Amino acid sequence: MADHAAKAALFDALAESAKALANGRRAELIDVLSQGERSVEDLAVEIDQTVANTSQHLQRLLRAGLVRARRHGTRIFYDLSSPLVSTLWRTMRRVAEEHVEELEQLTTAYVGDRSGLNTMTRDELRERLRAGDVVVLDVRPPAEYAAGHIRGAVSVPIGDLRARLLEIDSGARVVAYCRGSYCVYADEAVRLLAEAGRDAARLEDGFPEWASARLPVERGA
């Protein structure tokens, strides 16, 4: 018979990643870092926490092996330790979507009513990109665009979109995307474009899912 204490220690270690993610703010950090490397200061703004609190959460994720850190001058930058971490986060979301009864209500309370938004699947967007008859807008922050984006996408951060409407072909079909299904940037972009009389749709999910499907991506500004 195997030593049960050894088995218990093994399963405790196997559960460490889940334990590290069993906190909403740390889950938010993983969601943001799925877009690319960010500094502690930037991450603190993203999750609406102090730098000290954000650092504590990042240290917990670091101890669990989910993130890695590097220092550049006086600043510390974090990134996911491997693509498997992003896969783990997406899997956790899918399980919650299937089994947490109030999740749909909570999602609507945050992102609003999406029933009036046009959407486009990844496969549809891939075909439209091949045909060259679509304008793709990456409405995430510039740092995330530089870390990786859909090939051919134009960086127009959501805060700049209204001022840059005239740069977008008024006769083109426009598809906006952001971080994923729980990101509101693309929703805001589609609503703004529709108000301006543009033919606009939101990609059904976001950049991490596009990259995970091994569809064409680019890096750099």
Instruction: Say if CB 176 and CB 189 are below 8 A apart.
Output: yes
Tokens standing for residue 148? 């990786």
Q: Smallest Cα–Cα separation from 137: which of 198, 212, 79, 83?
A: 198
d(C-alpha 93, C-alpha 74), whole Å: 35
Residue 22 contacts residue 30 (beta carbons within 8 Å): no
Catalytic: 178? yes
Q: Are 180 and 31 in contact (CB under 8 A)?
A: yes
Determine which one of 61, 175, 178, 201 is catalytic.
Answer: 178
Task: Report the alpha-carbon angle 146-168-117, nearest 5.
Answer: 85
Rg (Cα) of the chain, in Å, rounded?
Answer: 19
Residue 183, classified by CB atoms within 10 Å of its CB into exposed (0-12), middle (13-18) or buried (19+), is buried
DSSP string of 163-221, one letter each residue:
GGGGGS-TTSEEEEEES-TT--HHHHHHHHHHHTT-EEEEEEEEHHHHHHTT--EE---
Residues with a catalytic annotation lie at: 178
